[in-house]
């Protein structure tokens, strides 16, 4: 089949769910038997978001191959249930780095290098790599930011050119906009959408579909108005009010006939009947009154929930599978250090310490781990959270009061977490961590092995520091076992307390492999332990399998 391209741009404002919409459309097509890949074009100059603060950008999502990417890639993987690779992520920084390297090699034979054609050609080359490398028939390409941004111009121009390169019957343009609500007159306004479409047209692209987002119900006459004023077929106007259950979006788009219109326009025939039963079950379960399980998430960027997007989703997936409502209390680790925020921790049925870097709040996290261990509250440590659990154990069980990670105290006399030998001497920050999937061998009979129900699993990593093997024996003797290690036994991957309802930490990030229909086994085990503490009745109904 000829490769089909669906391009998604945004207008009016950003952060209105363009990524989720793109992901959901991917699911509509996958449900009809097509192989789908999704790519995100990010117009910023950074080579990847790996060096950006989560305050700027939200979570850094990690792929199997170790690419550090935008959190939208997480939505794509969760909704379409695919594993993406580095071709699915592209930034202005990467494009320029490549073009400048070629120029330095002399590849352009004396030519002047310009945005058109060299930069746009490089963007097109990288878009063209997706179907080939991912083996996909349909490629969805989402452009970050909003139309009108200076940085996105070369990307929009590349998308425009692709229409003539591959034939207009093989491309489809979607524009996602926002309808503001005016309180005084209690109405939604389409004018910004009209302006934004006009701006896109000025760049040579006429959208064939407009996904109109709003915080309330969008009346049909408004859709007609958008169709008329923006010159889009009425079938191409998709009203998308904000919903409380994100996983309902594919079902809503299905009801609105989005897939049918897309396929008509791209000349595609449905290969199989979509089966939405699993998604309907998820949405039904999400809407149902369920016993609440309180989880205190102790982190550094807790004001910005996007910084923990995958953790939040993985907890939700586990809750849905178990028939409980996971309520997250966002606790600032630095506040705990000042004695504030402990009510949330004390009220919690489980404590989770997610990944993180640098020393701010670290003592608060250690104190939260101590509280969880001593009070037998289920604890789940993700990457840094596992390191925190080890530091706490060394200090308060083994009695090394100055135990620490050399990340926070390079002079610690008991460096229970230390730099990996191959990380010493690295000074560059970008893409130099231990990144991507590595195998982990599970210890038979351990809590981890029981949860996974297997022997070897593969999980995604993003860290520089490791458990210090010199401390392994002392830990073992005092009840902390290393139930997951690298197959050569050199690296600790999972630590767990034998005598505790659930105190387990992973050096990897299990949250990146949790999917709504396939919750991650360790999240399920954690939420189950927390539910038991809460006295909630668990009605597990989803079979759990690992991605290993």
Task: Report the interface residues with ligand GLN, using CB under 6 A.
Answer: 355-357, 383-384, 407, 462-465
212 in helix, strand or coil?
strand
Least distance (Å) between residue 463 CB and ligand GLN: 3
Least distance (Å) between residue 404 CB and ligand GLN: 12
Q: Pick between residue 376 and residue 464 the one whose CB is nearest to ligand GLN.
A: 464
Least distance (Å) between residue 382 CB and ligand GLN: 7
Q: Pick between residue 95 and residue 417 the one whose CB is nearest to ligand GLN.
A: 417
Q: Pick between residue 229 and residue 357 the one whose CB is nearest to ligand GLN.
A: 357
> Can you tell me the distance from the alpha carbon of 146 to that of 303, in angstroms, rounded to the nearest whole number?
24
Least distance (Å) between residue 309 CB and ligand GLN: 14
Q: Evaluate whether 367 touches 335 at the Cβ level (below 8 Å).
A: no
Residue closest to ligand GLN (Cβ): 355
DSSP state of 516: T
Least distance (Å) between residue 507 CB and ligand GLN: 8
415 in helix, strand or coil?
strand
Active-site residue, from 383, 459, 463, 520: 383
Residue 27 has, within 13 A of its CA and on its CB side, a CA count of 28
Least distance (Å) between residue 528 CB and ligand GLN: 24
Active-site residue, from 31, 122, 511, 520: 511
Burial of 42 (0-12, 13-18, 19+ CB in 10 A): buried
520 is catalytic: no
Q: Pick between residue 142 and residue 407 the one whose CB is nearest to ligand GLN.
A: 407
Q: Pick between residue 37 and residue 384 the one whose CB is nearest to ligand GLN.
A: 384
Q: Pick between residue 166 and residue 420 the one whose CB is nearest to ligand GLN.
A: 420
Least distance (Å) between residue 417 CB and ligand GLN: 7
> Can you tell me the distance from the alpha carbon of 516 to that of 518, in angstroms, rounded to the nearest whole number?
6
114 in helix, strand or coil?
coil
Q: Evaluate whether 502 touches 265 at the Cβ level (below 8 Å).
A: no
Instruction: Find the helix or strand (DSSP H, E) in which 326 lies.
Output: strand 325-332
Radius of gyration of the chain measured on its C-alpha atoms? 25
> Can you tell me the distance from the alpha carbon of 422 to that of 486, in angstroms, rounded to the nearest whole number?
15
383 is catalytic: yes
Residue 481 CB partners (closer than 8 Å, separation 6+): 443, 446, 475, 495, 496, 497, 498
223 is catalytic: no
Beta bridge partners of 316: none
Show the 3-state SS of 445-484.
CCHHHHHHCCCEEEEEEEECEEECHHHHHHHHHCCEEEEE
Cis peptide before 410, with omega less than 30 degrees from 0? no
> Residue 3 is encoded by which pair of tokens?
């490769």
**Closest of 205, 259, 266, 192 to residue 232, by C-alpha:** 205
Q: Pick between residue 383 and residue 492 the one whose CB is nearest to ligand GLN.
A: 383
Instruction: Find the helix or strand (DSSP H, E) in which 405 lies.
Output: strand 403-405
Catalytic residues, by residue number, are: 383, 509, 511
């Amino acid at each position: 089949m000829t490769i089909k391209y669906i391009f998604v741009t945004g207008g009016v404002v950003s952060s209105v769910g363009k990524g989720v919409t793109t992901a959901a459309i991917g699911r509509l097509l996958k449900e009809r038997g097509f192989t789908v890949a999704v790519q995100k074009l990010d117009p910023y100059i950074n080579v990847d978001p790996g060096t950006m603060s989560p305050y700027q950008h939200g979570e850094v999502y990690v792929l199997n191959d170790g690419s550090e990417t935008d959190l939208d890639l997480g939505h794509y993987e969760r909704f379409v249930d695919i594993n993406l690779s580095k071709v699915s992520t592209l930034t202005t920084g990467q494009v320029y780095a490549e073009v400048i390297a070629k120029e330095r090699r002399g590849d352009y034979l004396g030519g002047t290098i310009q945005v058109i054609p060299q930069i746009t050609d490089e963007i097109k080359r990288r878009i063209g790599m997706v179907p080939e490398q991912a083996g996909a028939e349909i490629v969805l390409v989402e452009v970050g930011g909003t139309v009108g941004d200076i940085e996105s111009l070369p990307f929009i121009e590349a998308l425009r050119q692709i229409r003539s390169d591959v034939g207009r019957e093989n491309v489809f343009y979607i524009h996602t906009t926002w309808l503001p609500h005016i309180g005084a007159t209690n109405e939604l306004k389409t004018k910004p959408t009209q302006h934004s479409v006009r701006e896109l047209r000025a760049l040579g692209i006429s959208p064939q579909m407009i996904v109109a987002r709003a915080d309330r119900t969008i009346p049909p006459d408004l859709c007609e108005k958008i169709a008329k004023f923006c010159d889009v077929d009425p079938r191409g106007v998709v009203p998308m009010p904000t919903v409380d259950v994100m996983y309902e979006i594919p079902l809503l788009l299905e009801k609105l006939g989005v897939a049918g219109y897309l396929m008509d326009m791209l000349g595609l025939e449905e290969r199989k009947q979509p089966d939405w039963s699993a998604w309907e079950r998820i949405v039904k379960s999400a809407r149902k009154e369920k016993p609440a399980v309180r989880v205190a998430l102790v982190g550094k960027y807790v004001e910005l929930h996007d910084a923990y997007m995958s953790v939040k989703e993985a907890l939700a997936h586990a809750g849905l599978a178990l028939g409980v409502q996971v309520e997250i209390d966002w606790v600032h680790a630095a506040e705990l250090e000042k004695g504030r925020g402990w009510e949330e921790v004390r009220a919690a049925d489980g404590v989770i310490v997610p990944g993180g870097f640098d020393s701010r709040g670290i003592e608060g996290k250690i104190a939260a781990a101590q509280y969880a261990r001593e009070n037998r509250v289920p604890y789940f440590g993700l990457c840094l959270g596992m390191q925190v659990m080890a530091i706490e154990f060394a200090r308060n069980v083994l009695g090394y009061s100055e135990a620490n990670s050399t990340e926070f105290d390079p002079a610690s006399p008991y460096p229970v977490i230390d730099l990996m030998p191959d990380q010493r001497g690295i000074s560059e920050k970008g893409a130099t961590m231990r990144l991507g999937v590595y195998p982990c061998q599970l210890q038979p009979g351990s809590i981890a092995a029981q949860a996974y129900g297997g022997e070897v699993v593969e999980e995604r990593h993003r860290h520089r520091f490791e458990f210090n093997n010199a401390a392994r024996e002392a830990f073992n003797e005092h009840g902390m076992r290393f139930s997951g290690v690298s197959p050569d036994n050199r690296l600790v991957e999972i630590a767990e307390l034998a005598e505790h309802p659930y105190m387990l930490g992973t050096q990897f990030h299990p949250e990146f492999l949790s999917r709504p229909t396939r919750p991650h086994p360790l999240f399920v085990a954690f939420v189950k332990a927390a539910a038991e503490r809460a006295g909630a009745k668990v009605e597990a109904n989803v079979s759990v399998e690992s991605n290993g």
